[in-house]
Copies of this chain bind each other. A is one copy, B any other.
Amino acid sequence: MSTIYRKSPVPRYHQLKEILRERIRSGEWQPGDLIPSERELSETYHISRMTARQALTDLVNEGIFYREQGRGTFVTRHKITQQLMRLTGFTEDISARGQQPSTKVLSAEMRPADDLTATRLRIEPGTPVFSLQRLRLADAEPLAIESSQLHFKGCERLLQENLEEQSLYHVIEAKYGFPLMEAEQELEAGLAGEEEAKLLAIPAGSAVLFTRRTTYTERNEPIEYAKSIYCGAKYTFYAHLRRDQLFA
> What residues of chain A have their CB less than 8 Å away from a CB belonging to chain B?
21, 24-25, 61-64, 66, 76-78, 80-88, 179-191, 205-209, 213, 220, 230, 232-233, 235-247
Residues in B with CB closer than 8 Å to A207 are 189-191, 207-208
- Whether B238 and A62, one on each chain, are in contact in the complex, defined by CB atoms closer than 8 angstroms, is no
A191 CA to B232 CA, complexed, in Å = 9
Give A191's nearest chain B residue, CB to CB. Answer: B207
- Whether B77 and A232, one on each chain, are in contact in the complex, defined by CB atoms closer than 8 angstroms, is no
- Whether A209 and B189, one on each chain, are in contact in the complex, defined by CB atoms closer than 8 angstroms, is yes
Give A180's nearest chain B residue, CB to CB. Answer: B243
- Whether B185 and A85, one on each chain, are in contact in the complex, defined by CB atoms closer than 8 angstroms, is no
Residues in B with CB closer than 8 Å to A80 are 184
Given pairs A62-B246, A85-B242, A191-B207, 9 additional interface contacts (CB within 8 A): A66-B220, A77-B220, A86-B241, A86-B242, A182-B243, A188-B235, A189-B190, A207-B208, A239-B239
- Interface residues of chain A: helix, strand, loop or mixed (majority): mixed
Residues in B with CB closer than 8 Å to A246 are 21, 24-25, 62, 64, 82
Given B63, B88, B183, B189, which contacts A232 in the complex, CB threshold below 8 Å? B189
- Whether B62 and A245, one on each chain, are in contact in the complex, defined by CB atoms closer than 8 angstroms, is yes
- Whether B242 and A186, one on each chain, are in contact in the complex, defined by CB atoms closer than 8 angstroms, is no
- Whether B78 and A184, one on each chain, are in contact in the complex, defined by CB atoms closer than 8 angstroms, is yes
Give A232's nearest chain B residue, CB to CB. Answer: B189
Give A212's nearest chain B residue, CB to CB. Answer: B236
A29 → chain B closest CB, angstroms: 12
Residues in B with CB closer than 8 Å to A205 are 205
Residues in B with CB closer than 8 Å to A191 are 206-207, 232
Residues in B with CB closer than 8 Å to A25 are 246-247
A10 → chain B closest CB, angstroms: 13
Given B63, B78, B183, B239, which contacts A245 in the complex, CB threshold below 8 Å? B63
A103 CA to B162 CA, complexed, in Å = 53
- Whether B189 and A87, one on each chain, are in contact in the complex, defined by CB atoms closer than 8 angstroms, is no
A142 CA to B223 CA, complexed, in Å = 38
Can you identify 9 A-B contacts, CB atoms within 8 angstroms? A21-B246, A62-B246, A84-B184, A86-B245, A180-B243, A181-B242, A185-B238, A186-B238, A189-B232
Residues in B with CB closer than 8 Å to A181 are 242-243
